A and B are shown apart, each in its own frame.
Chain A
Amino acid sequence: MSNKQYTTIDGNEAVSYASYRLNEVMAIYPITPSSNMGEWCDQWAAEGKRNVWGTIPSVVEMQSEGGAAGAIHGALQTGALANTYTASQGLLLKIPNMFKIAGELLPTVFHVSARTLATHALSIFGDHSDIMAARSTGFAMLGAASVQEAMDFAVIAQAATFPSRVPFVHFFDGFRTSHEVQKIHVVPDDVMRSLMDMDAIAAHRNRSMSPDRPVLRGTAQNPDAFFQGREACNPYFDACPGIVQKVMDDFAQKVGRVYQLFQYVGAPDAERLVILMGSGCETAHEAVDYLVEHGEKVGVLKVRLYRPFDMKRFLASIPATVKSIAVLDRTKEPGAAGEPLYQDCVAAFYEGVANGWTPFKTMPTIIGGRYGLSSKEFTPAMVKAVFDNLQAAQPKTHFTVGIHDDVSHTSLDYDPEFSTEGGDVIRAMFYGLGADGTVGANKNSIKIIGEGTGNYAQGYFVYDSRKSGSMTVSHLRFGPSEIRSTYLVSKANFVACHQPVFLERHDVIKPLVQGGTFLLNTPYSKDEIWEKLPQPIQEGLVRKQAKFYVIDATHVARESGMGGRINTIMQACFFALSGVLPKDEAIEAIKYSIQKTYGKKGEEVVRKNIEAVNHTLANLHQVAVPARVTSTEPLQPGVSPDAPEYIRNVLGKLALNLGDELPVSAFPCDGTFPTNSARYEKRNLALDIPVWDEKTCIQCAKCVAVCPHAAIRMKVYNPAALAGAPPAFKAVDARSPDWKGLKFTLQVAPEDCTGCTLCVEVCPARNKTEAKLKAINMRPQAPLRLQERENWNFFLGLPEMDRRKIKVTQLRSQQVMQPLFEFSGACAGCGETPYVKMLSQLFGDRAIIANATGCSSIYGGNLPTTPYAKNHDGRGPTWCNSLFEDNAEFGLGFRVSIDKQKAFAEDLVRTLAPSLGQDLVDGLVNARQTDEAGIIQQRERVAALKQKLQGNGSLEARLLLPIADHLVRKSVWILGGDGWAYDIGYGGLDHVLASGRDVNVLVLDTEVYSNTGGQASKATPRGAVAKFAAGGKQMAKKDLGLMAMIYGNIYVASVAMGAKDEQTLRAFVEAESYPGPSLIIAYSHCIAHGIAVDMGVGMRQQRTLVNTGQWLLYRYDPRRADAGENPLQLDSTAAKLKVQEFLLSENRFKMLTKSRPDEAKRLFALAQKDVDTRWQLYAHLSSRKQDVNGQPPKPAATPAAP
C-alpha cells in the first residue's frame, strides 16, 4: 500500500482526473450528477494544468448536451482526443450523435454518471435507465462499480477505444459512485501513458478530416448501399471485447488490479447466481462473501463490458454448477419481455446451449428482477432475498426487490435486520444542517483517515431536496479492509446530531448499535438535557445503553468567531469519542488539515477554526443516561395533523425521510399529486421572525411583495371580521382612501418563515424615536411560535378582498391578493420566488404553468410538498414540468390545446343555442375577459351553462361539458431559468415567441445555472466567475430581450423587483393582457452570486445593479406601436454608479480580483464598456419617434409658397 499514491476523492473527480490526463478536448454541459466532471476539467484548464501529453486541454461549454455531442463529433472527425460527460436526459440528447460517432468508428469516451430518466417524475438519482436507452447506439459500454473502478475504467476505456475504434460509454452509478468519497489508488501518469496505443492514436489522427487529404463522410445512402455499409463495421465490434480484455490484462500487470469483462465472485461450485452491473455489484460481492462463508453455494457475476456483449466470455465466466440465475436490472422497461440485461443473458444462454459454447447442456433457471431505481437502497439483505427466491420451487420472476409492491405483487420480501457489515469497520452517521458545514467536515475526516492512516475510508452523503434549512445525513465507514458497502449505514457505532431541532421529528437513535456513542449539539447542559429529549430518543438511549455526550457547539463556534459553522468543533468531538485515531493525534491532524484547507483563504479563517478546535474538548461532556425513560413527548409528525389524509399519510412520511416504508399503492399511477401541500409542513426554520409594528407601518406592502416564501401577508377587511380574534392579533385602520372604514393586518406565518430578513431590509418605514427599528423587526421565533400560530390561523380565516376592488397596478393594493404560491423550499431569501408569487396572486386562479427543469421546478415540484396552492374556491395554478430543453414548446402545447378546446366549446355553445338561450350563448361567446370582473362574470356564465347541460343528453352537450371550463380565459405561463431560456431551450423559446400565440414567458434570470451549482450560461455577465468559467466569463451577457424585440410583435419586459416593484407589477399585468407572446426577463438575485452581506439584502443589490445600468428596466409593448408611440419604454435612468461598485459587492465578480487580479481589471473595464454601449443603444431605441407602421414619421410637408 505504501508504495502507491492514495487519495480520497469521489467518483466524479476520479473519472475526470483520468479523462483530463488523457484528453485534449472536452465539451461540457451541466447535468446532475455529472456536472462536477466538467467543472473539474474547466477548473484544471483555467489553472493551466497540463495533461499526460504535455498540453492544456481545451474545455468548451455548450448550450446543451446535444451541442456537446455535436462538438465532440466534430473534434473527433478532425482527429482530437476528446471526451464528454453527462447523465440521464443529457445522454438522451447525445444519442443522435452517438449513432453517428459509432457508425463512423470514432474513438472517444463518454463518461456517464448513470441517472434515472424522467418518466412519471424526474429524479436526479442513479439507475441504468439512461444507459439502457443508449444501448443501441453502437457505443461500447463499460460499467464501473466503485470509485476505484471508475478511475481505472476511465483509463481502460480510453486505452481500448483507440485500437478498437469503437467509442465507449464509461458509466458508473449516479450519486452512489459519482458522489461517494472513497480512498483510492491513483493510476500514475506513466501507467496511463504506457497503456495508450500510440500507433492507434496516430492512426486516428491520420484518419481525420483535412483538406490536405480530403475525404467525404456523412453521406446519404439509398437502399442499394446502406444495409451493406451498416454491416461493414462488424469486425470492429467483434474484436472490441478482446481488446478491452487485453487492456485490462495490461492494466492488471502494471497496477495489480485484475478485471475481467464478466467477473465472477463466489463459491466455485455455486448453484445460485446473481448477475448485475454497477455499484450493486459491490453490495452483492459483500453479501456473497458472507453467505459463502456461511456455507451457501452462491455467486455473483459482475458485468463490466455490457456492450459489445461477448456471449462466449459471458458463458465461460459462469460455474457449470449453477442451477438458477437471477439477472438484476437497475432499470425498468414497461411492456418488455424482460429488462435488457436479463434478455441479453437469456439470449446468451439460449445461443450457448444451442451452439455448445458452454458446459451447460440445458438452460438453467433464469429469472429477471428490478432493483435500485432512482438510487433506491440495495442492501445485502436484498441480495439474500434474491438468493432465497432462487431457492424456491417456483422462483418469482420479473420481481422487484427493495420496495413493497402491493399493487402488482412483484416484490420480494427481505429481512431488514440481515447485515453483513464487518466488526472491524467503524460506522458513523451525522445529522447536520446544510449551513453548518457537517458534510464538509466529514469529507475532511475521511481525508484525514484515508490519507493519514492505513485504513480505508468511505463517505456517502444524503441531502435534502429543499434548499433552505435542509438536513444532511452523512454515512461514514472506516476500516482496515476494502469497503464494498455501497449502501447506507443502518447500524452505526457512532451517531452525531448536529442540530437539536432534528430530535423533534427524527428518531436519530434508530441506527445506533447496542452500546454505541451518541453525540448531541445542544444548548442544554449535561444535567438538563435528559428532560428535554422526546420519549423515543430517551427510550433508544436507555435500551441501547448508549454512551451519550453533549456539547454546545453553537456557543463554542460563536465564541471562536465562527458564526453558525460548528463543523470543526463537531469534527473534533467525533475524533475524541470515536477512537478512530488516538485523540491527540487526531486533534493535531485536524489542525493540520485546517491549515491545508483554509490556508489559502487567509490567516484569519485558519486562526478562528483552530481556536474553535482548542475550545472543543473542554466543552464536551458525557451525560449519565438514566435507567428509565421519563419523557412522554412523542416525535412530531412530518406535516401538521390538520392536513388532508393523503398529505398526512403519504407526503408526511416522505417529509420525515420515511418514504421507503410506503408501498406502491400509496403512489399515483401517473405522477399526479395534489397541490396546496406546503402549508402543512410547518418546518419552523427561522430562529428569528419578523414582527409587525403596526404604529410605524405605512402599509406600503413592499415586505409582502418581496417575501420569497409568502410568509408575510396583508389583508384588508371589514372590522366585523375581527370578532373572536386572538388577544394578540393586531389590526389597524387601513390607510388607503380606497379602503376607508376597513381594517388592515400584516401577519407573519411563524412556522413557515425562513428568517431571511428581505422584508425587514426592504421596509422603508422607520420608528420615529428609535430609528434602528422599522415597521417590521426580527425577533426570536421560539417565544412567539404559539401566539403567532394562533394569529396566523385566525388571519387565514379572514375574508379575502373582492378581487374586483383591487387596483392591480398599485402594489399597496395588489399585494392584498392571496398568494397561490407559498412556503417553497427555495433558498432563504430567494430572488426568483417573489416573481412566481406575484404571478400566482395576479393570475394563479386561472394559470397553467409549464416549468423548465431547474431551481423553479425543484422548489415548485420536488416531493414531498408543493408550494402551489389553491384559493377558497379550490382554484389555483396547475403545474407541470416536462423537460429542461422543451419548456417553451411544452407551454405552447398548452396554449394550442386550450385555444382549440375553447373554440370548439364556443362552436358547441352556438350549436346548442336553442336549448341554452341566446342571451347565455352571446354572453359566453362574446365575453370580455380582460379584468377580474369579466373573468368572474364568465365563470358565473359557465356555471349556468354546466347546470343547463346536466340534463341534456345530446352528443353536443356531452362533448361540451368536459371542456366548458375552457370558456373562461386561461393564462398560460412558461417559467424557467436563464440556462433554459438563453441556452438549452433558446431555439424552442425563439420559435414559440415567433408563433404569435398568447403565451407568457417568465425568465427567472439568475445569470447562472443555479440549480446545478452555478455554471455559466449565456446570461452570465462578463467578468463573473462561475463554474465552467473559472477564469471569469469572457463574453458579455446575451441580450435576450433585444433579440425578442426585433420581432416587433412580442411584449418584452426587463424587470428587477428590488429596483422598482411597481414596474415589475405593471410588466406582469401588461404581459398577461397582451394577446400575443410575452417575455418577462426578471433579474433574480441568487445564492450563487455570493452577495457581499447575504441574501437578505438581495433587493438592495437589485437596486444597485440597476443604478449601475448593468440591468436595464424597460417594457416593449407592441400595442404602443399600434397607437403610433414608441413601443419601447425605458423605466430606468442613466447610470448613477460605476459598474465596479456592483461587481465588488458580489463574490462572483470579486473573487476574480483575488484569483486573477489583472484579468479582473481587464474584464471589469470591458464590463463598463458593455454597459455604456448598451445604454446608448437603448436610449436611442426608446427615444425614436415612429408612426403606426414602425417607420420614422415623415417630415411635415413644406407649405406651398404663396
Chain B
Amino acid sequence: MDLTTTYLGLTLRNPLVLSASPLSENTDNLKRAQDAGAAAVVLHSLFEEQLRRESEELDYHMSHGTESFAEALSYFPEPAEYRLGPEDYLEHIAKAKAAVNIPVIASLNGASVGGWTEYARKCQEAGADALELNIYYIPTRLELTAAEVEQTYIDILKAVKGVVTLPVAVKLSPFFSSMGNMARRLDQAGANGLVLFNRFYQPDINLDTLEVEHSVLLSTPQARRLPLRWIAVLYGRIRADLAATSGIHNAYDVLKVLMAGASVTMLCSVLMKQGIDFLRVIEREMRTWMEQHEYESVQQLQGSLSQKNCPDPSAFERAQYMRILTSWRPPASS
C-alpha cells in the first residue's frame, strides 16, 4: 500500500500531518508523533502580535513606577539582554529538526505586513522545511472593504515569498465572499499550498459574570464538511497543494478529504483528545479501508471525488444545500 503524498514539494510518507497546535510546542511530542506515523509536523505559531506586545509589555513594566520615588528608582534588575522575539521559536525549529527526520513546517501568525518577512527569513535560516502563514484577521472596522482585506493577504504572501526560497502555504479563513477567487489569487501570488481552514477563537457570553469570554473549542467532526467542500471545488483548478484541517477525527475523515482533493490532512483536536498515538489507529484504519476497497495508493484516490471528478459536480454547489433543507421533514409531534 502506497500512502505517500506530496505537499509543498515535500514527499511525505503518508498524508497525516500534526497541525500547528500546543502539541507541537514540545519536541518530545514531535518525536512521539513521528513514531506514531505523522509524516510531517507544523510547529505552533509564532504570533506577530505576541512579539509586539511582549516588547511593549516588558518596556512598560521595566519603566512603570521608576524614577518617581527616591528610595525606589526602579523595581526590577535590568538584565543585559532579553530573549525576546523569535529567538525561542527559532531555537525550537532547530531542536525540532534535530529531534525528528520528518519535515518540520514553521508557522507564522499575524495580520499585517510589518515584521513578517524578517521572521520568515529567520525561520528558513533556522532550518524549517516549509512555512505556513497563518493569516488571521477579523475585519471589525466597518470602513474596511473586502478588497482591502483580500489585498492584505496577498501583500503578506508576496512579502514573505520575496525573502524566502522555502515553499510557503497559507492558512485561510473561510470568510471570503468569493473563496475560490481568493484561493486563485493566492495561488497566482505564489502560494505553494493552501490550508483550509483556520479556526478562530469564538467569543461567548458568561451569564454569571456578564463578560464576553474567549475559550478554545476543539473541532467537531461536523467542521470537516466546510474544508471538504472547498478542497473539492479547488482541486485541479489551482496549482497550490491543498491541506485539510478542522474536523478530521478518524481515518474516514482523512479518506474523504483526500478524495475531495487534499494532499494532506492536518490533525489536532483528535490528538489532543485521544493522544498522539491515535495517529497509529488512523493510519491502520486507512490502510484497512483502502485494502478492503482495493485502492493501491493515496495518489490514486486523491481528488477522485473532487468537484471536477465526482459524478455530480453540482453536489458541491449551493443547490445541494437547498435540497438537504427541502428533503428534511420535522419529526411528527406526539
Identify the A interface with B (CB < 8 A). Answer: 32-33, 35-36, 39, 42-43, 46-47, 124, 175, 179, 433-435, 437-440, 443, 461, 463-467, 470, 472, 563, 565, 598, 600-605, 608, 766, 771, 827, 858, 1010-1014, 1025-1027, 1030, 1087-1088, 1090, 1092, 1094, 1147-1148, 1151, 1154-1155, 1157
**Which one of A472, A608, A1148, A1151 contacts B67 once the chains associate, using CB atoms below 8 Å?**
A472
- Establish whether residues A1154 and B84, one from each chain, have CB atoms under 8 Å apart when the complex forms: yes
Residue of B nearest to A1146 (CB): B61
B76 with A1148: CB separation less than 8 A: yes
A492 to chain B, nearest CB (A): 20
Say whether B77 contacts A1030, CB under 8 Å.
Answer: yes
Chain A residues closer than 8 Å to B144, beta-carbon distance: none
Q: Tell whether, in the assembled complex, residue A434 and residue B59 are in contact, meaning their CB atoms are under 8 Å apart.
A: no
Residue from A42, A461, A598, A1030 in contact with B59 in the complex, judged by beta carbons closer than 8 Å: A598
Nearest neighbor of B66 in chain A, beta-carbon distance: A440
B72 contacts A1014, C-beta separation under 8 Å: yes
B210 within 8 A of A: yes
Please give me the residue from chain B that is nearest to A35 by CB atom: B71
11 contacts between A and B (CB under 8 A): A43-B79, A124-B70, A175-B70, A463-B68, A565-B63, A601-B55, A602-B85, A1088-B65, A1090-B64, A1151-B58, A1157-B88
Given A598-B59, A1011-B72; 5 other pairs, CB 8 A cutoff? A43-B77, A435-B65, A1026-B76, A1090-B61, A1157-B83
Distance of A46 Cα from B211 Cα, bound (Å): 43
Tell me the nearest residue of chain B to A1088, going by C-beta: B75
- Please give the number of chain B residues whose Cβ is less than 8 angstroms from any Cβ of chain A in the complex: 38
Quote the shortest CB–CB distance from A484 to chain B (angstroms). 23
Question: In the assembled complex, which residues on chain A have CB atoms less than 8 Å from the CB atom of B73?
Answer: 36, 179, 439, 1013
* A1151 neighbours in B (Cβ, 8 Å): 58, 61-62, 76, 79, 82
Chain A residues within 8 Å of B321, by CB = none
Q: Is B67 in contact with A1027, judged by CB distance below 8 angstroms?
A: no
State whether A439 touches B74 (Cβ < 8 A). Answer: no
In the assembled complex, B328 has its CB within 8 A of some CB on chain A: no
Q: Is the CB of B57 within 8 A of A1092?
A: yes
Which residues of B are found within 8 Å of A1026, using beta-carbon distances?
Answer: 76-77
Given contacts A434-B65, A437-B67, contact A1154 B72 (CB under 8 A): no
Shortest beta-carbon contacts, A-B, top 5: A434-B68, A602-B55, A1013-B72, A439-B67, A1147-B61
B83 in contact with A1027 (CB, 8 Å):
no
CA distance A463 to B64 in the complex (A): 16
**B71, A604: Cβ atoms closer than 8 Å:** no
Contact B83 A42 (CB under 8 A): no
Query: Dominant SS at the B interface?
Result: loop
Q: Which of B52, B59, B77, B80 contacts A1025 (CB 8 A)?
A: B77
Report yes or no: A604 in contact with B56, Cβ–Cβ below 8 A: yes
CA distance A1013 to B85 in the complex (A): 28
The answer on a CB contact under 8 Å between A604 and B69 is no
Q: Which residues of B contact A598 (CB under 8 A)?
A: 59
Contact among B70, B78, B80, B84 with A463 in the assembled complex (CB-CB below 8 Å): B70
Distance of A474 from chain B, by nearest CB (Å): 9
The answer on a CB contact under 8 Å between B81 and A600 is yes
Considering the chains assembled together, what is the distance between the CA atoms of A437 and B88 in angstroms? 31
Instruction: Please indicate the chain A residues that have their CB under 8 angstroms from the CB of B57 in the complex.
Output: 1092, 1147
- Given contacts A440-B66, A1155-B83, A1157-B88, are A1013 and B61 in contact (CB under 8 A)? no
Q: How far is the CB of B281 from chain A (nearest CB, A)?
A: 30
User: A124: which B residues are within 8 A, CB to CB?
Assistant: 70-71
**Nearest-CB residue, chain A, relative to B77:** A1030
> Does B68 contact A604, Cβ atoms closer than 8 Å?
no
Interface residues of B (CB under 8 A from A): 51-52, 54-85, 88, 115, 210-211
Which residues of the other chain, B, contact A435 by a CB distance below 8 angstroms?
Answer: 64-65, 68
**Bound-state Cα–Cα, A552 to B78, Å:** 31
Least CB separation from B84: chain A residue: A602
Contacting residues, chain A, for B61 (C-beta < 8 A): 1090, 1147, 1151
Q: How far is the CA of A1087 from the CA of B143 in the complex (A)?
A: 40
B84's partner among A179, A601, A1148 (CB-CB below 8 A) is A601
* Smallest CB separation, A755 vs chain B (Å): 15
Instruction: List the B side residues contacting A1030 at CB < 8 Å.
Output: 77, 79
B82 touches A440 (CB 8 A): no
Given A175-B70, A434-B69, A771-B210, also A440-B63 (CB < 8 A): yes
A32 to B73 Cα, complex, angstroms: 11
- Which of A33, A1013, A1025 gathers the greatest number of chain B CB atoms within 10 Å? A1013
- B66 contacts A602, C-beta separation under 8 Å: no
| Interchain CB contact under 8 A, A1147 and B69 | no
Contact of B69 with A464 in the complex, beta carbons under 8 Å? yes
Residues of B with C-beta under 8 A to A1012: 71-72
**Is A47 in contact with B55, judged by CB distance below 8 angstroms?**
no
Cα distance, A47 to B78, chains bound together (Å): 11
> Smallest distance from the beta carbon of A446 to chain B beta carbons, Å?
13
B80 cross-chain contacts in A, Cβ below 8 A: 47, 600
> Are B70 and A32 in contact (CB-based, < 8 A)?
yes
Contact check: which of B56, B79, B210 meets A605 at CB < 8 Å? Answer: B56
Contacts of B74 in A (CB 8 A): 1013-1014
What is the minimal beta-carbon distance from A704 to any residue of chain B, in angstroms? Answer: 21
Q: How far is the CA of A604 from the CA of B49 in the complex (A)?
A: 10
The smallest beta-carbon distance between A463 and chain B, in angstroms, is: 4
CB distance from B204 to the nearest CB of A (A): 14
How far, in whole Å, are A953 and B254 apart by their CA atoms in the complex? 105
- The distance in angstroms between the C-alpha atoms of A169 and B69, with both chains bound, is 27
Given contacts A43-B77, A47-B80, contact A470 B56 (CB under 8 A): no
Within the complex, which residue of A766, A1087, A1148 is in contact with B64, where a contact is CB–CB below 8 Å? A1087
Distance between Cα atoms of A784 and B57 in the complex (Å): 32
| Set of chain A residues within 8 Å of B82, measured between Cβ atoms | 600-602, 1151, 1154-1155
A601 and B67 in contact (CB under 8 A), knowing A39-B77, A1014-B72, A1027-B76? no
Roughly how many angstroms separate A467 CA and B105 CA in the complex, as a whole number? 50
Measured CA separation A604–B51 after assembly (Å): 9
Nearest Cβ on chain B to A887's Cβ, whole angstroms = 18
| Bound Cα distance A551, B237 (Å) | 59
Q: Which of A179, A434, A467, A603 has the most CB of B within 10 A?
A: A603
Whether the pair A602, B54 counts as a contact (CB closer than 8 A) is yes
B55 near A603: Cβ-Cβ < 8 Å: yes
Q: Tell me how far the C-beta of B27 lies from the nearest C-beta in chain A, rounded to whole angstroms.
A: 13
CB distance from B131 to the nearest CB of A (A): 20
Query: Chain B contacts of A175 at CB under 8 A?
Result: 70
- A1025: chain B residues within 8 A (beta carbon): 76-77
- Shortest A1024–chain B CB gap in Å is 10
Chain A residue at minimum C-beta to C-beta distance from B56: A604
The answer to whether B70 touches A438 (Cβ under 8 A) is no
CB distance from A30 to the nearest CB of B (A): 9
Residues of the A chain whose Cβ atoms lie less than 8 Å from the Cβ of B63: 437, 440, 565
Residues in A neighbouring B52, C-beta threshold 8 A: 602, 604
Give every chain B residue within 8 A of A1147 (Cβ-Cβ).
57-58, 61-62, 76
Q: What residue of chain A has the Cβ atom nearest to residue B211's Cβ? A: A771
| B76–A1014 touching, CB < 8 Å | yes
Closest-CB distance, B157 to chain A (whole angstroms): 22
Q: How far is the CB of B106 from chain A (nearest CB, A)?
A: 19
Min distance, Cβ B49 to any Cβ of chain A, angstroms? 10
Q: Which residues of A contact B210 (CB under 8 A)?
A: 766, 771
Given contacts A602-B54, A603-B115, A1151-B76, contact A32 B71 (CB under 8 A): yes
Looking at A42, A463, A598, A600, the one whose CB has the most chain B CB atoms below 10 A away is: A600
Min C-beta distance of A1148 to chain B, whole Å: 7
CB distance from B16 to the nearest CB of A (A): 30
Q: How far is the CA of A1157 from the CA of B83 in the complex (A)?
A: 8
Tell me how far the C-beta of B91 lies from the nearest C-beta in chain A, rounded to whole angstroms. 9
Rounded to whole angstroms, the CA-CA distance of A223 and B194 in the bound complex is: 95
Q: How far is the CA of A464 from the CA of B70 in the complex (A)?
A: 7
Q: How far is the CA of A563 from the CA of B55 in the complex (A)?
A: 14
Q: How far is the CB of B145 from chain A (nearest CB, A)?
A: 25
Residues of chain A lying within 8 A (CB to CB) of residue B211: 771
Complex Cα–Cα for A465 and B72 (A):
11
Q: Nearest residue in A to B115 (C-beta to C-beta)?
A: A603
